[in-house]
Amino acid sequence: MAQSLPHAFKCAAEGVRFALGQRNMRIDVCAAVLAVALGVVLRIDAPSWLAVVLCIGGVLALETLNTAIESVVDLASPEYHVLAKHAKDCAAGAALIAACASVVVGCVVFIPKIGELIC
């Protein structure tokens, strides 16, 4: 039988809460808060906000997915296995790629605005 919509949202919130318990997710959330604060202070335009918000959403979503994959791999393969290592490394790599791309976007968005303040 299908879950009710409120129950589905409750389960999703529990997943986010679990992911927030992971060190890398907390680091990503801190970076997101910093990016939003910088955007407010520098008064970035709407397209820049869109880029920042999409980057934040992408990184947090991939970090949550990474946490899920690590949990499933640990359940399926409690002993060391090279394929389990590859799965976990690839999931972490996906989150890292998104974070690196977000840093590039942040530089494109924020560096010119900081330059305007200095000059």
Cα separation, 49 vs 89, whole angstroms: 31
CA-based nearest residue to 37, from 112, 101, 106: 106
Q: How far apart are CA 14 and CA 16, in angstroms?
A: 5
Residues marked active site are found at 63
- Taking residue 92's Cβ as centre, other Cβ atoms within 10 Å add up to 17
Residues 6 or more apart whose Cβ sits within 8 Å of residue 73: 84, 87, 88
